Chain A
Amino acid sequence: MYKGREGQWAFFLHRLSGVAILLYLILHTVSIGSTMLGEEVYGAVHKLYELMPFRLGLIGVAGAVAYHAFNGLRIVAMDFTSWGVKYQRQLWYAALVMAALFMLLTLYANLPRLFPDIFTYKTIWGR
Chain B
Amino acid sequence: MKMAIKARSFRDAKAQAKSNPELVWWVFMRLSGTALVLLTLFHLFKNHIATDEAGWDYEAVASSYADWWNKLYLFALLGLGMMHGGNGLRYVIDDATAKNPVARFWMKSIAYTLIGAALVFGLLALIVKIPVPGVG
Contact = CB atoms under 8 A, between A and B. Distances in A.
Interface of A: 1, 15, 18-19, 21-22, 25-26, 29-30, 32-36, 39, 42-43, 46, 49-50, 55, 58, 62, 65-66, 69-70, 72-73, 75-76, 78-80, 85, 102, 105-106, 109-110, 113, 125, 127
Contact of A29 (B44, B53, B58, B118): B118
Contacts of B128: 36
Given A18-B88, A22-B88, A65-B41, A32 B133 contact: no
Given A69-B37, A76-B30, A35 B130 contact: yes
> Can you list the 10 inter-chain pairs with the closest CB atoms, starting with the nearest?
A33-B125, A22-B85, A29-B122, A26-B118, A109-B49, A72-B33, A39-B58, A69-B37, A36-B128, A42-B58
Nearest to A112: B52
Contact of B121 (A30, A43, A78): A30
Contacts of B125: 29, 32-36
A45 to B, nearest CB: 10
Interface of B: 6-10, 13, 30, 33-34, 36-37, 40-41, 44, 48-54, 56-58, 61-62, 65, 78, 81-82, 85-86, 88-89, 92, 114-115, 118-119, 121-122, 124-125, 128, 130, 133
B58 A76 contact: no
B40 A65 contact: yes
23 contacts: A1-B7, A15-B92, A18-B85, A18-B89, A21-B85, A22-B88, A22-B115, A26-B115, A30-B122, A33-B125, A36-B125, A39-B133, A46-B56, A49-B54, A49-B56, A58-B48, A66-B44, A76-B34, A79-B7, A85-B8, A110-B52, A125-B50, A127-B52
Contacts of B62: 35
A21 B130 CA distance: 27
Contacts of A42: 58, 61
Contacts of A113: 52-54
Nearest to B88: A18
B49 A106 contact: yes
Nearest to B61: A35
B82 to A, nearest CB: 7
Contacts of A79: 7-10, 13, 30
Nearest to B13: A79
Nearest to B39: A69
